C-alpha cells in the first residue's frame, strides 16, 4: 500500500469537505425548489354551461337537487353578485384573458390567436395545465395548446355533433366518435381526474368548462329512460323536462372531482372555484324558496341572463360559510387565480379585472364599485352592428344609450327611471356609472391592434 503524506491527506479532506458542502447545497436548493412548488396551490376552475344562480339550492333554488354544491357553499364562500356575459363565448373570452370584450372579442366561437390566457401564464410559471369539457374558441386542433393548455379532452372543434350520448370528442388533437353508450360529460370528467392523479406531486391548473347543462335537454345515465344506443336529441333544444336530471348530474360530477382531490391527498392544497357561464336557457323556469319564478334569459342582458352562481373553497384559507355581496365580473378570475398562484403579470399584459382573493379569505379587499359590460354575440360580423353597453352595481344599471334601471325593483327592466326625478344619491350613482362607461370609450379591439402592431 503506497504511503500517503500529511499534505495529501489534507488535500483529500478538503476535496471531500467541498464535495459534501456542494452536495448539501444542491440538496438544500432542491428541497427549497420542492418547497416553493409545494406552497403553490392547485387551481380547479369549474364553469357550468347555461346555469343561472336560481338553479342552486344554496342560492335559494328549490326546483333541482344540488347537494354537492350546497355543501361546497357551506364549506367555502358564496358570492351573491357574480355577473357573466349573457352568452358562452363572450364569457369564456373575458374570463380567460381578464379583459373586457370591447378590447378583444371578434366573433362567436373564436378567441383571437394574438391573445394570452391564464393558462399561458400558469404553464409558463411551471404549472401543469389541462382543459376538459367544452371548447368553442376556435376550430384549429392546436388551439388549446396555443392558449396554454398542455392537455385537453374537449367537445366542439371542427364539429357540432353530439356531446352527450355517444359523443364526438377531441383529446390532445385526436378526434374520436364514441359508439358504446359513453356519456360525454363522464369522459371529459374522467380525463380531468386522471390529470389530477398524474400531477398530484406538482402544482396544477385544471380548467373545466362543463358540457352540462347546455341543451339539448336529454336523459343522463341516471335518468329512467336513458338509452345508451341513442344518437342524441333530434331537436336542438331537446325536452326541458330533463333539465333537472342534467343539473343533478352536473352536481354529481363536481362531487366526483372533489372526491378525487381527497383521494389523491391534494384537497387541502387546492382552490376549487365553481361558476356559471351565463344565465339559464330560455325554455327553463325555476323557482326560488321565496316563491319567485325565474325564467331563463340566456342571451339577454337582464339579471336572469347574466347573474350566475360563484362558490369558492380553499380548505383552511377560505372564510367558511361566508356570503359576500361584493360585485364579481368575469374579468376578475384571471387576476384572482394568478394572485393565488403567486404568478406576476407581464408588464404589457392588460387586465380589466381585479382580484377577489382577499374576499375569499374573509378580508375586505378592494371591492368593485361597478361592472362594465360590452356585449355583442358576433362582434362586428353582422350588419346593423349595435353592441349592448352598460355599467352596473348591485342595484342600478345604466345603458350607454341613456336608460337607467333599478334592477332590484325592476329585474326585467321594463320601466327606466325618470332622470328628472332622481334624488341626489341615485343621481350620484348614475354619474359614477357613466364615468365607468366613459373609461372604455375608444378601446374597441385595442389588445388585438396592439398585438398586430408588435408583430409588424
Does 31 reside within a domain? Answer: no
Q: Which residues pair with 205 in a beta bridge?
A: 43, 129
Q: How crowded is the C-beta side of 440, counted as CA atoms within 13 Å?
A: 24
Does 96 reside within a domain? Answer: yes
Contact 332, 354 (CB under 8 A): yes
pLDDT band at 391 (very low <50, low <70, confident <90, very high): very high
Q: Which of 321, 320, 352 is nearest to 335 (CA)?
A: 352
Q: In this structure, are 412 and 335 located in the same domain? A: no
User: Residues 73-90: what's their mean pLDDT?
Assistant: 98
Does 13 reside within a domain? Answer: no
Does 188 reside within a domain? Answer: yes
State the pLDDT at residue 450: 79
Q: How far apart are the C-alpha atoms of 432 and 429, rounded to whole Å?
A: 5
Q: In this structure, are 183 and 286 located in the same domain? A: yes
Q: In this structure, are 325 and 395 located in the same domain? A: no
Q: In this structure, are 287 and 357 located in the same domain? A: yes
Q: Which of 129, 110, 132 is nearest to 47 (CA)?
A: 132
Segment 295-345, tens digit of pLDDT: 999 999 999 999 999 999 999 999 999 999 999 999 999 999 999 999 999
Residue at which a domain ends, from 368, 397, 419: 368
Coil/strand/helix, residue 41 = coil
CA dihedral 61, 67, 73, 76 (to 10 degrees): 180
Question: For residue 398, is pLDDT > 90?
Answer: yes
Q: Is the bond preceding 347 in cis, omega lying within 30 degrees of 0?
A: no
State the pLDDT at residue 172: 96
Residue at which a domain ends, from 336, 368, 400: 368
Q: In this structure, are 50 and 182 located in the same domain? A: yes
Contact 194, 178 (CB under 8 A): no
Question: For residue 438, is pLDDT > 70?
Answer: yes
Residue at which a domain ends, from 340, 368, 396: 368
- Domain containing 228 equals 39-368
Q: In this structure, are 424 and 316 located in the same domain? A: no
Please name the residues in contact with 331: beta carbons below 8 A apart, sequence gap of 6 or more: 94, 95, 97, 98, 99, 100, 351, 352, 353
Does 209 reside within a domain? Answer: yes
Q: How far is CA 171 from CA 124, 184, 191, 198, in A?
A: 22, 12, 9, 16
The grid coordinates of residue 231 equal: 344518437
Q: Which of 349, 331, 333 is nearest to 341 (CA)?
A: 333
Least confident of 9-13, 29-33, 258-262: 29-33
Average pLDDT, the chain: 91
Contact 85, 322 (CB under 8 A): no
Give 278 or 29, the one with higher predicted confidence: 278
State the pLDDT at residue 156: 81
Question: For residue 244, is pLDDT > 70?
Answer: yes
pLDDT band at 158 (very low <50, low <70, confident <90, very high): low
Q: In this structure, are 406 and 330 located in the same domain? A: no
Q: In this structure, are 364 and 393 located in the same domain? A: no
Q: In this structure, are 319 and 284 located in the same domain? A: yes
User: Residues 217-230: what's their mean pLDDT?
Assistant: 96
pLDDT band at 27 (very low <50, low <70, confident <90, very high): very low
Least confident of 135-139, 246-250, 302-306: 135-139
Question: For residue 30, is pLDDT > 50?
Answer: no
Q: In this structure, are 126 and 263 located in the same domain? A: yes
Coil/strand/helix, residue 401 = coil
How many separate domains does the chain show? 2
Contact 177, 171 (CB under 8 A): no
Least confident of 37-51, 124-138, 192-206: 37-51
Q: In this structure, are 153 and 251 located in the same domain? A: yes
Please name the residues in contact with 302: beta carbons below 8 A apart, sequence gap of 6 or more: 407, 411, 412, 413
| Longest CA pairwise span in the chain (Å) | 108
Does 10 reside within a domain? Answer: no
Does 338 reside within a domain? Answer: yes
Does 71 reside within a domain? Answer: yes
State the pLDDT at residue 157: 62
Q: In this structure, are 322 and 436 located in the same domain? A: no
Amino acid at each position: 500500500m503506497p504511503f500517503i503524506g500529511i499534505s495529501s491527506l489534507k488535500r483529500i479532506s478538503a476535496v471531500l469537505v467541498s464535495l459534501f458542502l456542494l452536495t448539501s447545497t444542491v440538496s438544500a436548493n432542491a428541497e427549497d425548489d420542492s418547497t416553493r412548488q409545494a406552497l403553490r396551490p392547485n387551481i380547479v376552475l369549474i364553469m357550468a354551461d347555461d346555469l343561472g344562480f336560481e338553479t342552486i339550492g344554496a342560492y335559494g333554488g328549490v326546483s333541482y337537487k344540488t347537494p354537492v354544491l350546497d355543501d361546497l357553499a357551506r364549506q367555502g364562500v358564496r358570492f351573491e353578485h357574480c355577473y357573466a356575459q349573457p352568452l358562452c363565448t363572450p364569457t369564456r373570452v373575458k374570463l380567460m384573458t381578464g379583459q373586457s370584450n370591447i378590447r378583444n372579442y371578434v366573433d362567436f366561437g373564436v378567441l383571437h390567436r394574438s391573445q394570452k390566457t391564464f393558462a399561458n401564464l400558469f404553464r409558463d410559471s411551471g404549472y401543469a395545465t389541462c382543459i376538459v369539457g367544452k371548447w368553442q374558441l376556435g376550430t384549429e386542433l392546436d388551439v388549446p395548446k396555443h392558449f396554454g393548455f398542455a392537455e385537453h379532452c374537449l367537445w366542439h372543434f371542427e364539429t357540432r355533433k353530439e356531446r352527450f350520448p355517444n359523443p364526438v370528442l377531441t383529446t390532445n388533437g385526436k378526434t374520436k366518435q364514441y359508439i358504446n353508450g359513453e356519456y360525454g360529460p363522464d369522459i371529459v370528467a374522467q380525463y380531468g381526474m386522471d390529470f389530477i392523479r398524474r400531477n398530484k406531486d406538482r402544482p396544477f391548473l385544471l380548467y373545466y368548462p362543463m358540457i352540462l347543462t347546455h341543451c339539448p335537454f336529454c336523459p343522463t345515465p341516471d335518468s329512467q329512460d336513458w338509452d345508451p344506443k341513442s344518437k342524441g336529441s333530434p331537436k336542438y333544444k331537446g325536452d326541458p323536462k330533463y333539465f333537472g336530471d342534467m343539473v343533478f348530474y352536473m352536481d354529481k360530477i363536481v362531487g366526483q372531482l372533489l372526491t378525487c382531490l381527497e383521494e389523491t391527498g391534494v384537497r387541502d392544497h387546492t382552490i376549487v372555484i365553481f361558476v356559471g357561464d351565463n344565465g339559464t336557457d330560455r325554455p327553463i323556469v325555476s323557482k326560488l324558496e321565496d316563491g319567485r319564478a325565474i325564467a331563463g334569459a340566456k342571451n339577454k342582458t337582464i339579471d336572469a341572463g347574466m347573474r350566475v352562481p360563484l362558490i369558492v373553497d380553499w380548505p383552511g384559507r377560505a372564510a367558511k360559510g361566508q356570503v359576500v355581496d361584493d360585485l364579481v365580473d368575469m374579468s376578475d378570475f384571471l387576476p384572482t387565480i394568478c394572485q393565488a398562484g403567486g404568478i406576476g403579470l407581464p408588464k404589457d399584459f392588460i387586465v380589466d379585472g381585479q382580484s377577489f382573493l382577499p374576499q375569499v379569505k374573509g378580508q375586505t379587499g378592494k371591492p368593485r364599485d361597478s361592472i362594465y359590460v360590452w356585449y355583442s354575440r358576433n362582434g362586428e360580423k353582422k350588419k346593423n352592428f349595435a353592441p349592448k353597453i352598460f355599467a352596473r352595481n348591485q342595484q342600478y344599471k345604466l345603458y350607454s344609450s341613456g336608460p337607467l334601471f333599478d334592477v332590484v325593483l325592476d329585474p326585467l327592466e321594463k320601466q327606466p327611471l325618470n332622470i328628472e326625478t332622481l334624488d341626489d344619491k341615485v343621481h350620484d350613482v348614475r354619474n359614477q356609472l357613466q364615468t365607468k362607461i366613459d373609461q372604455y370609450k375608444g378601446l374597441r379591439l385595442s389588445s388585438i391592434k396592439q398585438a398586430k402592431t408588435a408583430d409588424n
